[in-house]
Amino acid sequence: MSAVTPDQNPSSTSLFSRPAGSTTNERFLISDLCRMLETYLEPEKIKHITQAYLVSEAAHEGQSRQSGEAYINHPLAVARTMAEMRMDAESIMAAILHDVMEDTPVSREQLVEEFGEVVASLVDGVSKLSHLKFDSKVEAQAASFRKMMLAMTNDVRVILVKLADRLHNMRTLGSLAPEKRRRIARETLEVYAPIAQRLGMNNFRRELERLGFQALHPMRYRAIHAGVERSTSRYTELLGKIEVNISNRLEEMKIQGRIQSREKNLFSIHQKMRDKKLSFQEIHDVFALRIVVDDIDTCYRALGACHTLYKPIPGRFKDYIAIPKSNGYQSLHSVVIGPGGAEVEIQIRSHDMDRIAEEGIAAHWYYKSEEDQETPAQRRTNEWLKSLLELQQNTGNALEFFENVKIDLFPDEVYLFTPKGEIMSLPRGATGLDFAYAVHTDLGNSCVAVKIDKYLSSPSTILESGQSVEVITDKKIHPNPSWLNFAATARARSSIRHYLNQLEKDEAINLGKRLYKKAIRAQAGKYVEAPKDRMQSLLKTYQYSDKNALYRAIGLGKKLAVSVVDDLFGKKKKYIETQEPFVIKGSEGVVLLFAKCCSPVPGDAVIGMMSKGRGMVVHRQECPNISQYLDNQERVMPVEWNNETTGTFATAIRLQTRNKPGVMATIAAELATQDSNIENIIFEDRDSMSSQITFMVSVTDRQHLAQIIRRLRNIPEVIRINRPYT
């Protein structure tokens, strides 16, 4: 026999007591709404709400629902539900206006102007959620979809309006075509009911589940309904007797309380029968009562009263007052042995706890509204979280509890759609490139752009929840180190690093092999193969597994080619003076770097220096930073550009200019006419007469650069121009 879970609370409060399937008989009017609002809102606020009604009514003029009734009845019904929860004026207005942005010409700007930013952004939020399309073919997605909805919501009230909207749509589902009805019912069960549960709104959850179950499985619904009716009538007498006994005992002990019997949750009976493969009888035979009292103290006294009347079953007592559930639910649960050996579950709680158990997060607006109605929603939500935290203060795991609630409401994740409609979650701050790597490494490695909601964007664009993302690839594209600047996820970063490491390895081996062969030629006059046994013993001495490992070490500057050759062939007189230059084409990649201090370009006289672990760094011959190493002929070698350099090279030009307005613009325009991009500008010095500015520009070679310098010299404001060393 399974104990009744705390989520299955009775719906005995006035709020959602309408019987299944019924629709309002008399029309609910704006005047009826105002009468409800008068009980808790100021007249001024009600005036605003009436104004919102007039705008909404005019906007929906001429539209009708599937059932044939005027459309305005729907938003009004949603507002009524919000008013039943005693939500604030902004929520009520948002409920009344929730469909105008979607279905009428009313714009967000208009809403801001007439009703303020808060109401407009609530309506905007509800409209955005309506755009999300849930495709329940993949069942595991339901959870992600729910998170996505919460993630898109900066203000929890958006979710509350959306739930009230869905509730009314479910209540009026009958007028829709069967296929659409089933789709909405399934979505309600998989997405909306669990959200209501997460927010502690059990009254919503129960009704959404019941209506969803009824629409999706009408036969099963009827069967279980009939079963419950039958057994209830059979046990009414027994339950009545228990109620009277408890009631008398409470009176004897001078405890004020209200006893309620519970309505059966047909959907959860269905779920248990399905999931636990139990028969109707096995699940259904649980008697349950609830006692609602004034305060916490009385809860425990009432529990004592029940235990003196009926024996509690050991291990079946749960104190959710001391340790609330993560959605804020508080209550005492105990299973006792009633008359004739029947097990009876008794729930005991205070009025406040009862209200929170039914309305969850919505209950808190009512309590807060007295003090400050204008508090921004975020702060109010934080207050709610704080109040939950206070409920929790006597228990040890308060922090963990707080984290749970917070993560669900303000997740650190964004949720995105793939072109196939699947949902992908990424950490907040993730970019298009991260998305590409999350789908597949190959997709990431060749990602050239992304389409976000069908618009072409850079892979570095930061993504937001609810967007649909498509990756555009190009086989010619490969990861480069700059990608690490905008890859946020561990997966993307490690994939890029892996690729670069592999590339570096290959390039280093290549470079090392060339350096090695060149060193032999320099020493022996021509290339000769090293004797196999010598090479083997050398590898052993160096502790390298094979020749490639040795080449790689040379390429990365960890071993010097010259000393390797010496070790192999024995030290001989060297031919360094006549050493042939090492030929580079400038596009070697990661193991061949151009020194930042002198930024050489093709055509410059250059020199290469092996730098430990980085490979070869190419400097201009006259660079002062390299002069001290020129004697170290093991590390430094002449380098020559091959004739077919391609691409652009960044280099620095330093200008001294007169301070005249428009100088910068003239220079920039001149550079543009010369097909050169400015990559960076550094203002180094300025006095009353002149300024010193360094431009990083891109050029194809030395000739291109010379031409640019000539043109810049012709600008009258340019006093001096040179290529700096830093």
Residues with catalytic annotation?
A: 102-103
3-class SS letters over 620-671: ECCCHHHHCCCCCCCCEEEEEECCCCCCCEEEEEEEEEECCCCHHHHHHHHH
Query: Alpha-carbon distance 197 to 514, whole Å?
Result: 68
Query: Alpha-carbon distance 191 to 134, whole Å?
Result: 9
Q: Which is nearer to Mn ion, 169 or 260 (CB)?
A: 169
Tracing tokens 């009708």 back to the chain, one arrives at 64
Q: Tell me the number of residues near Mn ion by CB under 5 A.
A: 2
The CB-of-360 to Mn ion minimum distance in angstroms stands at: 21
Residue (of 427, 491, 490, 483) closest to 460 by Cα position: 483
The CB-of-74 to Mn ion minimum distance in angstroms stands at: 6
Q: Which is nearer to Mn ion, 92 or 500 (CB)?
A: 92
Question: Residue 697 pairs with which residues in a beta bridge?
Answer: 651, 678
Report residue 487 as tokens: 């890859």
Residue 396 DSSP class: T
Report residue 704 as tokens: 């291109």
Query: Alpha-carbon distance 522 to 578, whole Å?
Result: 8
For residue 350, give every residue at least 6 positions away whose Cβ sits within 8 Å of its Cβ, in sequence order, or none. Answer: 292, 293, 294, 295, 296, 298, 299
Residue (of 229, 295, 302, 230) closest to 259 by Cα position: 302
Among positions 636-665, residues that touch Mn ion (CB under 5 A) are none
Among positions 63-102, residues that touch Mn ion (CB under 5 A) are 99
Tracing tokens 């690729």 back to the chain, one arrives at 499
3-class SS letters over 289-340: EEEEECCHHHHHHHHHHHHHHCEECCCCCEECCCCCCCCCCCCEEEEEECHH
Among positions 417-436, residues that touch Mn ion (CB under 5 A) are none
The CB-of-695 to Mn ion minimum distance in angstroms stands at: 58
Q: Which is nearer to Mn ion, 99 or 604 (CB)?
A: 99
The CB-of-28 to Mn ion minimum distance in angstroms stands at: 15
Decide if 649 contacts 602 (C-beta within 8 A).
yes
Binding-site string for Mn ion from residue 209 to residue 228, where x marks contact by CB under 5 A and - marks none = --------------------
For residue 338, give every residue at least 6 positions away whose Cβ sits within 8 Å of its Cβ, in sequence order, or none. Answer: 238, 242, 287, 310, 344
Q: What does the DSSP assignment read for 515-531?
A: HHHHHHHHHHSS--PPP
Q: Which is nearer to Mn ion, 106 or 250 (CB)?
A: 106
The CB-of-102 to Mn ion minimum distance in angstroms stands at: 8
The CB-of-266 to Mn ion minimum distance in angstroms stands at: 26
Element at 478 (helix H, strand E): none
State the helix-helix crossing angle for 141-151 and 398-409, rounded to 10 degrees: 90
Q: Which is nearer to Mn ion, 96 or 433 (CB)?
A: 96
Q: Which is nearer to Mn ion, 73 or 523 (CB)?
A: 73
Binding-site string for Mn ion from residue 548 to residue 577, where x marks contact by CB under 5 A and - marks none = ------------------------------
Residue 19 DSSP class: P
CA 516, distance to chain mean position in Å, is 51
Do the strands 423-427 and 455-457 form a parallel or antiparallel pair, or are they unpaired? Answer: unpaired
Query: Alpha-carbon distance 329 to 357, whole Å?
Result: 5
Residue 184 DSSP class: H
366 phi/psi in degrees, rounded to 5 = -60, -45
* 3-state secondary structure at position 168: helix
The CB-of-103 to Mn ion minimum distance in angstroms stands at: 9
Q: What does the DSSP assignment read for 546-609?
A: SHHHHHHHHHTTSS-HHHHHHHHH------GGGPPPEEE-S---TTEEE-TTT---TTS-EEEE
The CB-of-165 to Mn ion minimum distance in angstroms stands at: 4
Binding-site string for Mn ion from residue 162 to residue 181, where x marks contact by CB under 5 A and - marks none = ---x----------------
**Which window, 84-92, 159-167, 486-494, 684-692, contacts Mn ion (CB under 5 A)?**
159-167
- Please work out, in degrees rounded to the nearest 5, the angle formed at the alpha carbon of residue 315 by the alpha carbons of 311 and 321: 95
The CB-of-100 to Mn ion minimum distance in angstroms stands at: 10
For residue 68, give every residue at least 6 positions away whose Cβ sits within 8 Å of its Cβ, in sequence order, or none. Answer: 175
Residue (of 170, 172, 184) closest to 134 by Cα position: 184
Among positions 615-634, residues that touch Mn ion (CB under 5 A) are none
Q: Which is nearer to Mn ion, 76 or 416 (CB)?
A: 76
- Comparing every residue's Cβ against Mn ion, the nearest one is 165
Q: Which is nearer to Mn ion, 165 or 354 (CB)?
A: 165
Q: Which is nearer to Mn ion, 165 or 717 (CB)?
A: 165
Among positions 522-541, residues that touch Mn ion (CB under 5 A) are none
Q: Which is nearer to Mn ion, 134 or 649 (CB)?
A: 134
The CB-of-193 to Mn ion minimum distance in angstroms stands at: 17
Among positions 15-44, residues that touch Mn ion (CB under 5 A) are none
Query: Alpha-carbon distance 666 to 432, whole Å?
Result: 37
Tracing tokens 């004020």 back to the chain, one arrives at 256
Q: Which is nearer to Mn ion, 101 or 239 (CB)?
A: 101
The CB-of-254 to Mn ion minimum distance in angstroms stands at: 50
Q: Which is nearer to Mn ion, 155 or 165 (CB)?
A: 165
The CB-of-186 to Mn ion minimum distance in angstroms stands at: 18
Residues that bind Mn ion (CB under 5 A): 99, 165
